[in-house]
Amino acid sequence: MLVRATAWHELGGFRKDFFLYYEDAEWCLRARGAGWRCRYLAEVLCRHRVSSSTQGGHRALSPTSAYYRARNQLRFARETTPRGKRLTRTAGVLFIWTPYLAWQLVRAHDRQTTRAYFQGLRDGLRGRMGKGPWPRAEPTR
């Protein structure tokens, strides 16, 4: 993410309560609201070799990333204005994305990640933000 220093100073940095996922999307919404223009470039500019902040390693989705993706995606949707967008984003998270990902996790027999994902959803619905219960030591396979 490339940001003008004047925009960063004007708006402040990322919200700490979004820790890990959706902090950039939330920041861009604030920037747009303040009159700044945001652009998305779909071309791959760099690639992470290892997901060190989420202990992803060989897994498609670690418990850490599952928790924060669920919680922060839902929280982002619930904080959206106007009301119509908030409803459609929240419905999309709950009725499209969640069943799809839950099915993938169940098929993978990954109970720890499944549990983390649903804990993230619960915390998102309750408005619990900030650093969550993850990361903690995860067994290697």
pLDDT of 90: 94
pLDDT of 41: 81
The residue written with tokens 């839902």 in the block is: 74
Q: What is the pTM of this model?
A: 0.77
Question: What is each CA distance from 140 to 58, 67, 75, 130, in whole angstroms?
Answer: 10, 18, 30, 26
Would you kindly state where each structural domain of the chain is located, as residue ranges?
5-40+50-126
pLDDT of 58: 47
Cis link prior to 139 (omega < 30° from 0)? no
The C-alpha atoms of residue 50 and residue 15 are separated, in whole angstroms, by 24
pLDDT means over runs of 10, the chain (141 residues) = 93 89 93 93 71 53 89 92 93 93 88 91 86 55 46
